[in-house]
Copies of this chain bind each other. A is one copy, B any other.
């Protein structure tokens, strides 16, 4: 417990930073064990070089925070109080003037940065975001275990979705069935808004499920993920309802080849850019390069999108314990949209795939 917190405290010591202000709710949970989405209210974790940390929460969450795994102090503010004054006062109870502080520049808004600066007047402000990214990028065995479970639930979600396919059904009806069945099984949150896209709609890589009805010979794209004990999964499968066109089948097989080639190449020592290149070459050599208009993949963990970014030009060297998606796609407007995505975790000499729904073209009739 609180191993990550200790890492942070050591970092503060080593870098002579007096305190760090963490306010990404996901990272507050990562370091404190207290999960919350405070909306526009202020939630923060303050960790010090030479004093006990404290959690800062809206008053209406105080009871929840006190009964969470967090064992250190909890400070709080009422809606009509100035949270920055209370943060300042709570800090003064445990530390003199903070000369150097660190904040999450990737999350903190300019407004809050200005307020914090006004309240604490540090001489220097550093960025903790890259340090947290670096910490989170290598998963512990315990984290990988949760991601394996999250992956199993994603496979389950696909199974429910495939079974729900029927002619004339709307995309969003299938989304409704998937989420309903999972919620009944105890899953509280999806990793992101479940996507079920058919026909032309699937040719948009970030389409929104709507009232388009499933028609015979459509391709249907499912992109979804499940949150299990705070860890996410993410998977995409494209299935056929009836008999797709030859060109759609060709596109499918190309995407599958790209997916499998990249997964086969994952191992410690290769770079993120090389992985992107391996998948992209398969697709480009067949003449579809311009229709693969996004990176190969993204890291995931407690956030569904985190480091590393698996994209061209990224020289980041892949290491054991990293988790990321491999998701090549080809989107030809008016013809077909196909994406096949699996997430993997890197082992000593390769990788293990987190989702196991078959990838050869499934025809639902």
Contacts and interface: CB of A to CB of B under 8 A. Distances in A.
Interface of A: 35-37, 39-40, 58-64, 78-80, 103, 105-111, 113-114, 127, 129, 170, 172-173, 175-177, 179-180, 183-184, 186, 188-189, 192-193, 203-211, 276, 293-295, 305, 309, 311-314, 331, 333
B188 A183 contact: no
Nearest to A312: B80
Oligomeric state, in copies: 2
B59 A293 contact: yes
Given A80-B313, A294-B59, A188 B206 contact: no
A110 B113 contact: yes
Contacts of A80: 276, 295, 311-314
B79 A294 contact: yes
A128 to B, nearest CB: 11
A164 B80 CA distance: 37
Given A79-B295, A109-B106, A61 B180 contact: no
A109 B108 contact: yes
A147 to B, nearest CB: 19
Given A109-B109, A109-B110, A110-B110, A176 B180 contact: yes
A127 B109 CA distance: 12
Contacts of A311: 79-80
A176 B173 contact: no
A70 B192 CA distance: 26
30 contacts: A37-B193, A39-B305, A58-B206, A59-B294, A60-B204, A60-B205, A60-B294, A61-B206, A62-B293, A63-B333, A64-B206, A64-B207, A78-B294, A79-B295, A80-B276, A80-B314, A106-B109, A106-B110, A110-B110, A110-B113, A111-B129, A172-B183, A173-B183, A173-B184, A175-B183, A176-B183, A179-B183, A180-B180, A186-B211, A188-B210
